[in-house]
Amino acid sequence: AALAEERSALREALSGLSARDRLILTLVEMDGAPQARVAEALGVAPESVSALVGRARKRLKARFAPEGS
């Protein structure tokens, strides 16, 4: 039951992100895409990908974190 609740909370947190953040996290975290592929999909320089991933993760964490933590 706890796992189902956590998955539901994660889906909700992801749905609250921008389409760009969802794409970044999907490509990197779920697909394991290399930086060059992520950069091409986003139309940015490969050197920018690390920062974009970091920001997307931070926004997801802020949405996913339990209240008061």
Angstrom distance (rounded) from CA 16 to CA 21:
10
Burial-class residue 7 by CB neighbours within 10 Å (0-12, 13-18, 19+).
exposed
pLDDT tier for residue 66 given thresholds of 50, 70 and 90: low
User: Exposed e or buried b for every residue in 30-69, given b needs 16+ CB within 10 A?
Assistant: eeebebeebbeeeeeeeeebeebbeebeebbeebeeeeee
Mean pLDDT within 7-29: 91
What is the model's pTM?
A: 0.81
Q: Which two tokens stand for residue 23?
A: 């794409």
pLDDT of residue 7 exceeding 90, the answer is no
